[in-house]
Amino acid sequence: MTDSRLLPPSSPRFAPGDEVRVIRNVRDDGTYPGAARGDLLVRRGSVGVARDIGTFLQDQIIYSVYFHDENRLVGCREEELIGAGEAWTPGLFEFRDKVRSRAVLQVNGETMIEPGDDGEIVRVLRDHPGGSAYHVHFAVAPGRVFLVPETMLEECGGAPPSDASESGAPEKDAELYYRQRPRAFTRPEMRLLRHILVTFDDDGQKQNAITLLEELRDHILQSADRAAAFAAAALEHSHCPTALGNGVLGTIKPGQLFPELEPHAFSLAEGALSTPVESPVGMHLIFCERIHPPMTMSFEESKARIIAHLDGKRRRLRE
19-83 is classed in which CATH architecture?
Roll (2.30)
Same fold, 19-83 and 190-292: no
Task: Assess contact for 127 and 94: CB atoms under 8 A.
Answer: no
CA separation for the pair 56, 62 (Å, rounded): 7
pLDDT per residue of the chain (319 residues) written in tens, 0 to 9: 334 333 344 578 888 889 999 877 787 777 788 878 878 888 888 899 998 887 665 567 888 999 988 888 988 888 788 898 887 767 777 777 788 888 888 877 778 888 888 888 888 787 777 778 888 988 777 778 888 988 888 877 544 434 444 444 478 888 888 877 777 777 788 899 999 999 998 999 999 999 999 999 999 999 999 999 999 999 999 998 888 888 998 888 888 888 899 999 999 999 999 999 999 889 999 999 999 888 888 888 788 878 877 777 666 655 5
CA separation for the pair 64, 67 (Å, rounded): 10
Q: Which residues contact 179 (CB under 8 A, 6 or more apart)?
A: none
- For the chain, domain boundaries: 19-83, 98-187+298-318, 190-292
Task: Assess contact for 5 and 58: CB atoms under 8 A.
Answer: no
Look at domain 190-292 and name its CATH class: alpha beta
Q: What is the pTM of this model?
A: 0.46
